[in-house]
Amino acid sequence: MSKKPLTDEELATIIETQLALLLQLVPYKERIKKVMEEAKEKENYILSGAVIWNALGEDWESKVEKARRAYKRAKALYELLCTLED
């Protein structure tokens, strides 16, 4: 079952809606920056204890990847909001 491509008008409507939603997040930009910083701290915390996590049989690598993804997503959103605010 294949989905037909969007028309230019449908695509423009989706983009307009997405931008409107993103603009609603601009007032929360600093909170998103804090989330980004906390995710980076968590990644560093896990990496600093990797030997201990490993000795305990914990899957620290997946925890690091999860923290990295959270950081990258928060950073991308923060940077997008900074761009939209300009």
Assigned domain for 60 exists? yes
Indicate whether 33 belongs to any domain. yes
What pLDDT, in 10s, does the model give residues 50-72? Answer: 889 888 888 889 989 999 999 99
Residue 52 lies in a domain: yes
Number of folded domains in the chain? 1
Q: Residue 69 is part of which domain span?
A: 28-85
Residue 4 lies in a domain: no
Which of the four pLDDT bands, split at 50, 70 and 90, describes residue 22?
Answer: very high
The answer to the question of residue 47 being in a domain is: yes
pTM here is 0.78
5 lies in some domain: no
C-alpha to C-alpha distance for 72 and 36, rounded to whole angstroms: 8
**Percent share of the chain, pLDDT over 90:** 73
Q: What is the pLDDT of residue 2?
A: 65
The answer to whether residue 35 is domain-embedded is yes
- Band of residue 1 on the pLDDT scale cut at 50, 70, 90: low
